[in-house]
């Protein structure tokens, strides 16, 4: 029997890696190919892929129901110009689908033609974990596109990659492991969060095996540096980290680099449902949106209507390669960002990065406050460790926000200074409480979660 006569198992028969790499190049082929497309070339590819995704979505009960309720019929959606006609959806709609059609919901599109191979969940940072489904093709497409980001940022076959993304049912750690091992030649160390492997042990392995790259959420990467110092290690001298890539948002890059001995840091953005959507490149001038794979819009959080490029709004995406399991059409992530024009030698638009969550917002005396973005305001405060949590309380009819900040040494003068700083940055009065290093950890669960908790709603 020849190799050509062997039937592949369902997963491996579900995609052709050579075809995927032709359609969605990575490495140098990306930089000389899609990255240089003209606006018209990109539009033609997007149109073709959009029509396949729309055709598939009409056969999924979730979309058929929502679109019919909005008065749409199949002939109403023909081209990209029709995209604004389609109602957006968010996680709350997916969770409602699960409640109405337990246990999986009716958005996944699984049937005998599209058997799923992967099942994970979200982290549950903003509520109950949501079910995530992946077919073979779209799973490997997500892996490929994340590898595109890592290669653009400079990951090489000589790198030893230490990952602090969590495992268990959460998608993140598995996804990143697959991206690195399937589409790069770097050596991968799947350490996970502090719950998967204690931080002290992680540092021992990083030193022993010569880790050169850290991938993960910046909060835990900073926590690792703190633990290193507690153990008598100097992260800048005793470890060999040259590159950090993860979810940085508005993080102070200079401070992060100094902590890790000048390591170059890169941001990328994605969510569990979609995989990577945009990634920072060597020019460090925003995150390049993978526009050959995603149609990205920014929506007004209140009206859900598109805003112009250059104005902040909720990132909303249509995934152009998900025409099998769980198609995604106009998914409002509730993550705030700003769409920017192309730059840095890549002809795709950019996004400014994560700027807060509109569904994790505190409305305080008419001012919108985003707890997940407060960390950026504390970056320049030398006395602060960078760890904090917000308590949202109510006293009668008045709501208050208290920002609990970890500092190396408490003083009344420092509390007064931080109070003034946050009032200036946020545009509204908040209380400040100073605590010693490590005191917020039981509340943020930074050792156990990929994304620490930053808001406690204690209004009762």
Contacts of 9 (CB under 8 A, 6+ apart): none
pLDDT digit string (tens) for 301-331? 889 999 999 999 999 999 999 999 999 999 9
CB neighbour list of residue 98: distance below 8 Å, 6 or more residues apart: 104, 105, 130, 131
Is 41 inside a domain boundary? yes
Helix axes 172-183, 136-153, angle to 10 degrees: 70
| Angle 327-184-297 from CA coordinates, rounded to 5° | 35
Write the DSSP assignment of 80-97 as a string of letters.
Answer: GGGGGGSPPB-HHHHHHH
In terms of domains, do 197 and 329 share one? yes
Residue 251 inside a domain? The answer is yes
Tell me the residue range of the domain where 191 lies: 8-357
Instruction: Confirm whether 89 is domain-assigned.
Output: yes
**pLDDT tens column, 394-418:** 887 788 999 999 999 999 999 999 9
pLDDT of residue 212: 98
CATH code where residue 431 lies? 3.30.300.30
Q: What angle do CA 450, 452, 457 make, to 5 degrees?
A: 140
Q: Please give the Cα distance from 119 to 138 (Å, whole number).
A: 13
Same domain for 323 and 404? no
Asked whether residue 171 falls in the same domain as residue 250, the answer is yes
Residues 330 and 366 in one domain: no
Is 1 a domain residue? no
pLDDT for position 361: 73
Residue 43 inside a domain? The answer is yes
**Residue 3 placed within a domain:** no
Claim to verify: residue 317 and residue 375 sit in the same structural domain: no
Kindly state whether residues 297 and 414 are assigned to the same domain: no
Q: What is the DSSP string of 141-210?
A: HHHHHHHHHHHHHT--TT-EEEE----TTBSHHHHHHHHHHHH---EEEE--STTTS-HHHHHHHHHHHT
Residue 346 sits in the same domain as residue 405: no
185 is a domain residue: yes
Identify whether 141 is part of a domain.
yes
Q: Using the 3D structure, point to which of 337, 357, 377 is the last residue of a domain.
A: 357
- The dihedral over CA atoms of 304, 308, 311, 312, expressed in degrees to the nearest 10, equals 30
47 in the same domain as 16: yes
Residue ranges in the chain whose pLDDT is less than 70 = 1-5, 124-127, 359
Q: Are residues 253 and 377 in the same domain?
A: no
Question: Residues with Cβ < 8 Å from 297, sequence gap 6 or more?
Answer: 83, 306, 313, 315, 316, 317, 330, 339
| Domain final residue pick, 357, 378, 413 | 357
- 328 and 420 in a single domain? The answer is no
CA angle 217, 218, 222 (to 5 degrees): 130
* Residue whose pair of structure tokens reads 């032709």 in the numeric block: 22
pLDDT for 453 = 87
One domain for residues 370 and 280: no
* CATH code of 232's domain: 3.40.50.12780
Residue 447 · residue 434 · CB < 8 Å: no
pTM (two decimals): 0.84
Please tell me whether residues 441 and 404 are part of one structural domain. Answer: yes
Number of domains in the chain: 2
Domain boundary among 313, 332, 357: 357
């Amino acid at each position: 029997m020849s190799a050509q006569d062997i039937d592949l198992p369902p997963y491996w028969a579900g995609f052709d890696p050579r075809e995927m790499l032709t359609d969605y190049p990575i490495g140098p082929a990306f930089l000389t190919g899609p990255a240089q497309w003209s606006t018209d070339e990109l539009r033609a590819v997007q149109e073709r892929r959009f029509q396949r995704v729309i055709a598939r979505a009409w056969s999924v009960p979730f979309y058929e129901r929502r679109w019919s309720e909005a008065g749409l019929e199949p002939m109403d959606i023909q081209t990209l110009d029709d995209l604004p006609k389609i109602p957006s959806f968010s996680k709350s709609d997916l969770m409602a689908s699960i409640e109405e059609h337990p246990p999986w919901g009716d958005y996944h599109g699984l049937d005998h033609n599209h058997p799923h191979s992967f099942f994970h969940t979200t982290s549950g940072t903003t509520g109950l974990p949501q079910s995530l489904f992946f077919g073979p093709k779209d799973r490997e497409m997500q892996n490929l596109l994340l590898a595109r980001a890592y290669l653009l940022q400079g990951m090489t076959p000589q790198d030893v990659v230490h990952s602090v993304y969590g495992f268990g049912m959460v998608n993140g750690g598995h996804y990143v492991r697959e991206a690195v091992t399937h589409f790069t030649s770097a050596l991968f160390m799947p350490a996970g969060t502090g719950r998967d492997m204690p931080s002290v042990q992680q540092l021992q392995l990083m030193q022993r095996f010569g880790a050169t790259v850290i991938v993960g959420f910046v909060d835990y990467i900073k926590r690792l540096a703190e633990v290193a110092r507690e153990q008598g290690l100097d992260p800048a001298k005793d470890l060999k980290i040259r590159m950090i890539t993860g979810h940085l948002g508005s993080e102070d890059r200079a401070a992060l680099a100094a902590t890790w001995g000048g390591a170059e840091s890169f941001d990328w953005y994605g969510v569990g449902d979609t995989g990577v959507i945009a990634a920072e490149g060597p020019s460090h001038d925003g995150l390049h949106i993978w526009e050959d794979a995603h149609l990205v819009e920014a929506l007004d959080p209140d009206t859900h209507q598109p805003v112009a490029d250059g104005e902040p709004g909720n990132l909303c995406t249509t995934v152009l390669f998900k025409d099998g399991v769980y198609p995604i059409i106009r998914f409002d992530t509730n993550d705030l960002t700003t769409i920017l024009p192309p730059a840095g030698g890549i002809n795709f638009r950019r996004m400014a990065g994560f700027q807060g969550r509109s569904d994790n917002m505190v409305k305080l005396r008419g001012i919108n406050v985003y707890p997940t973005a407060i960390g950026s305001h504390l970056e320049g405060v030398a006395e602060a460790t960078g760890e904090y949590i917000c308590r949202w309380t109510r006293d009668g009819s008045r709501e208050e926000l208290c920002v609990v900040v970890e500092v190396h040494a408490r003083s009344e003068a420092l509390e007064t200074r931080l109070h003034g700083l946050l009032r200036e940055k946020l545009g509204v009065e908040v209380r400040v409480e100073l605590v010693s290093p490590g005191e917020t950890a039981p509340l943020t669960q930074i050792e156990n979660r990929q994304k620490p908790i930053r808001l406690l709603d204690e209004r009762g």
